[in-house]
């Protein structure tokens, strides 16, 4: 996984955009020497989980920051919610 991170930082074409951010492309992570790895399941994006996660983040930000939450973070959270709900 570290190799993938370094290659991603070096602008190699190893990532694809997903509703929650960038994830490794198929076969971009070297799993040689590991038992069978179900990459599809590993990078699955369960819709209900992420909808709940957005709500948990909103509550946390409300409790911890209230009106001091930076507008940019609120926008990112709203955008994340839209992308996840579109899955």
34 is written with which tokens?
A: 């590991």
Write down the H helix ranges in the chain: 2-9, 39-42, 47-64, 71-85
pLDDT, tens digit, for every residue of 16-64?
Answer: 999 999 999 988 998 889 999 898 898 899 999 999 999 999 999 999 9
Give the separation between CA 70 and CA 45, rounded to whole angstroms.
27
Give the separation between CA 29 and CA 1, rounded to whole angstroms.
6
Banded model confidence at residue 77, pLDDT cuts 50, 70, 90: very high
Cα 66 to chain centroid, rounded: 24
Domain ranges, ordered by start, for the chain: 1-44, 46-87
**Listed residue (57, 61, 67, 1) closest to 28, CA to CA:** 1
The predicted structure's pLDDT at residue 73: 97
């Amino acid at each position: 996984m570290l190799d993938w991170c370094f290659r991603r930082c070096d602008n190699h074409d190893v990532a694809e955009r997903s509703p929650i951010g960038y994830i490794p492309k198929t076969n971009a992570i070297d799993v040689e020497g590991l038992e069978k790895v179900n990459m599809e399941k590993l990078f699955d994006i369960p819709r209900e989980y992420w909808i709940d996660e957005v709500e948990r983040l909103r509550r946390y930000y409300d409790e911890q920051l209230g009106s001091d939450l930076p507008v940019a973070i609120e926008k990112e959270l709203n955008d994340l919610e839209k992308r996840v709900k579109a899955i």
